[in-house]
């Protein structure tokens, strides 16, 4: 069952379907949500709830029918789950305009992107590309995505104002990973949590690196909130060196960008063996994101990353996440990465649609929307 693009956009825009309830409700429960929602308030706020061809009643009826299918709940397991096909659309900092060849399920999540807004200048005079909330909404349309996770970029340092502003703009269909200091107060962490932050991002190498032995202290600070630590290894050697500390970490650990497993021959590198051992512990997720960081083959396929990606999916499909890394701040020359082609690569790494659903919907739901 294909969801028309305009219906998918209405789902994203309607104020009463901004939270996860949209994707998990039974039809009867969703109808109650629709009936008790303030349609007038949405229109007064300038929210484009429906287009001119959809009445309020038609819209509520259509979404109610979709909601019970979205995660195979509500006694509808025998029916095909609805899928969204992206749109042909040119998007800033994304090569090409074709939609992905594969459809994605309702609730599909981009678990790694950034927002750079000129209203929030980078500190210390840093420069770089700008990729705004409105720009990213175009990418969601092109790829057919329903939810997303914003990762605070290193260029903003510990300034989370842009992140919080973007989270408020997207509403409950978006979560964030923030940059925090160990000495930040509980009140500050609580404030970030209220805006949708569900994790912190630490670097093993960079301007403000965190020694692996300090990760446990951060885990203690964020434990009460149920947050996770997202780690940027920056090099596969750094990941190997961090294994002893990560093996005893008590919180959930999310490893960016395939763990920076280097190519060629990534499948046999020590860093890949470390990733497999960490996955075996059960509290580690890996982001299948930014293959261009380690690929030597390069665009458009980044095919040398395929063996690593496939092996990771086979090892722990229940803890794999997919991310675009848009607007690709590490790629400074044209052509930019083709986000639709990179999403299509997931069909090679996870040929089974049910497994892709696990990666795109179920795993993000558990990690980012459980609290």
Q: Would you kindly state where each structural domain of the chain is located, as residue ranges?
A: 2-84, 104-368
Look up tokens 């997931």; give the residue.
Answer: 346
Distance CA 287, CA 171 (A): 23
pLDDT confidence of 130, banded at 50, 70, 90? very high
Q: How many CA atoms lie within 13 A of 20 on its CB side?
A: 17
CATH architecture label of 104-368? Alpha-Beta Barrel (3.20)
What is the per-residue pLDDT across 332-352, written as a single tens digit (0 to 9) for each?
Answer: 888 899 999 999 999 999 999
Calculate the dihedral angle through the C-alpha atoms of 130, 132, 137, 143, rounding to the nearest 10 degrees.
30
Q: How would you class 215 by CB atoms within 10 Å of its CB: exposed for 0-12, middle for 13-18, buried for 19 or more?
A: buried
Give the pLDDT band of residue 353 (cuts 50, 70, 90).
Answer: very high
Alpha-carbon span 174 to 4, nearest angstrom: 22
Q: Which of 236, 256, 306, 325 is catalytic?
A: 325
Q: Is 325 annotated in the active site?
A: yes
| 145-166: burial string, b at 16+ Cβ within 10 Å, e else | bbbbbbbbbbbbeeebebbbbb
The DSSP call for residue 63 is H
Q: Give backbone dihedrals phi and psi of 180, rounded to 5 degrees, phi first.
A: -130, 160
Name residues whose C-beta falls within 8 Å of residue 173's C-beta, 6 or more positions apart in sequence. 12, 18, 19, 20, 22, 146, 147, 148
pTM: 0.84
Structure tokens, 167? 């989270």
The pLDDT, as a whole number, for residue 11 is: 64
- Percentage, residues of the chain above pLDDT 70: 79
């Amino acid at each position: 069952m294909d969801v028309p693009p305009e219906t998918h956009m209405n789902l994203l825009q309607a104020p009463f379907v901004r939270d996860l309830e949209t994707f998990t409700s039974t039809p009867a429960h969703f109808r109650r949500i629709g009936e008790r929602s303030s349609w007038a308030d949405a229109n007064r706020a300038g929210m484009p709830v429906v287009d001119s061809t959809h009445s309020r009643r038609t819209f509520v009826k259509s979404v109610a029918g979709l909601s019970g299918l979205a995660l195979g709940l509500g006694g509808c397991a025998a029916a095909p789950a609805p899928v969204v096909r992206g749109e042909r659309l040119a998007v800033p900092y994304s090569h090409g305009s074709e939609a992905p060849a594969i459809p994605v399920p309702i609730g599909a999540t981009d678990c790694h992107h950034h927002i750079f807004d000129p209203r929030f200048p980078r500190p210390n005079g840093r420069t770089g590309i700008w990729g705004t909330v409105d720009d990213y909404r175009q990418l969601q349309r092109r790829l057919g995505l329903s939810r997303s996770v914003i990762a605070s970029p290193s260029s903003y340092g510990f300034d989370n104002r842009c992140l919080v502003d973007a989270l408020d703009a997207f509403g409950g269909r978006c979560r964030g990973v923030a940059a925090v200091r160990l000495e930040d107060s509980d009140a500050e962490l609580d404030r970030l949590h209220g805006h949708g932050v569900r994790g912190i991002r630490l670097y093993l190498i960079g301007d403000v690196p965190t020694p692996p032995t300090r990760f446990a202290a951060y885990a203690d600070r964020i434990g009460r909130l149920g947050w996770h630590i997202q780690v940027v290894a920056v090099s596969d050697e750094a990941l190997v060196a961090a294994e002893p500390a990560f093996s005893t970490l008590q919180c959930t650990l999310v490893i960016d960008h395939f763990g920076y497993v280097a190519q060629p021959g990534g499948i046999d590198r020590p860093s890949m063996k470390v990733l497999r051992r960490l996955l075996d512990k059960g509290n580690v997720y890996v982001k299948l994101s930014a293959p261009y960081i380690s690929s030597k083959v390069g665009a458009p396929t980044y095919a040398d990353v395929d063996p690593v990606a496939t092996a990771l999916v086979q090892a722990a499909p229940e803890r794999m996440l997919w991310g675009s890394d848009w607007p690709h701040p590490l790629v400074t020359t044209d052509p930019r990465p083709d986000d639709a082609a990179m999403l299509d690569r997931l069909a090679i790494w996870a040929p089974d649609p049910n497994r892709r659903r696990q990666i795109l919907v179920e795993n993000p739901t558990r990690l980012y929307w459980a609290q």
